[in-house]
Amino acid sequence: MYQKIAPFLLFDGQAESAMNFYVSIFPNSKVSNIEYHQKKTDLDSKACILRASFLLNGQKFMCGDNLEKHDFTFTKSLSFYINIASVSELRSVFTKLSENGKILMPIDNYGFSKCYAWVQDKFGVSWQLNVPNLENESEESNVCFANSKDVRPEYRE
């Protein structure tokens, strides 16, 4: 019998920083286990993670550091989609994830969602954020994008 599938994120010496960053953003989150590489790496003198597991809002994730520099990175074609309970919570998560990252789609009403955003964080991981239950054009849904300095871009890959 298979266990639940857990995403595994591979970093170039930033696994521990990324894991701690994500755990600090989401509720019901913690680092569960860390195993370090035993041999020296070409990354630098920092300890590199062989394998670590952590929970983000109860969902298991795993990560590690590659022992050698590689030519690949994270892609926007794979992202983590999160339904968030309120606009204020979405704005908070959006602000933290987008700091030193890239806003792919700013917080806005896109028709398919009244409050949605898509960001790539400073580690290159993509996150789609959504408030699914905005039933009417209430003040809360207007707050989603009102007074935002973000300009809604035409989406291009």
What domains does the chain contain, in order, with CATH numbers?
Answer: 1-70 (3.30.720.100), 73-135 (3.30.720.110)
Q: Report pLDDT for 147.
A: 41
In three-state secondary structure terms, 143 is helix
Q: Report pLDDT for 146.
A: 53
CA distances from 136 to 29, 133, 141, 148 (A): 31, 9, 8, 20
> Given the structure tokens 């790539």, which residue do they identify?
120
Q: Could you tell me the pTM of the whole model? A: 0.82
Q: Characterize the bridge pairing of strands 8-11 and 59-65.
A: parallel
Torsion angle (degrees, nearest 10) of CA 9, 22, 123, 133: 100
Question: Quick one: which H or E segment has residue 59?
Answer: strand 59-65
Does the structure show a pLDDT above 50 at 31? yes
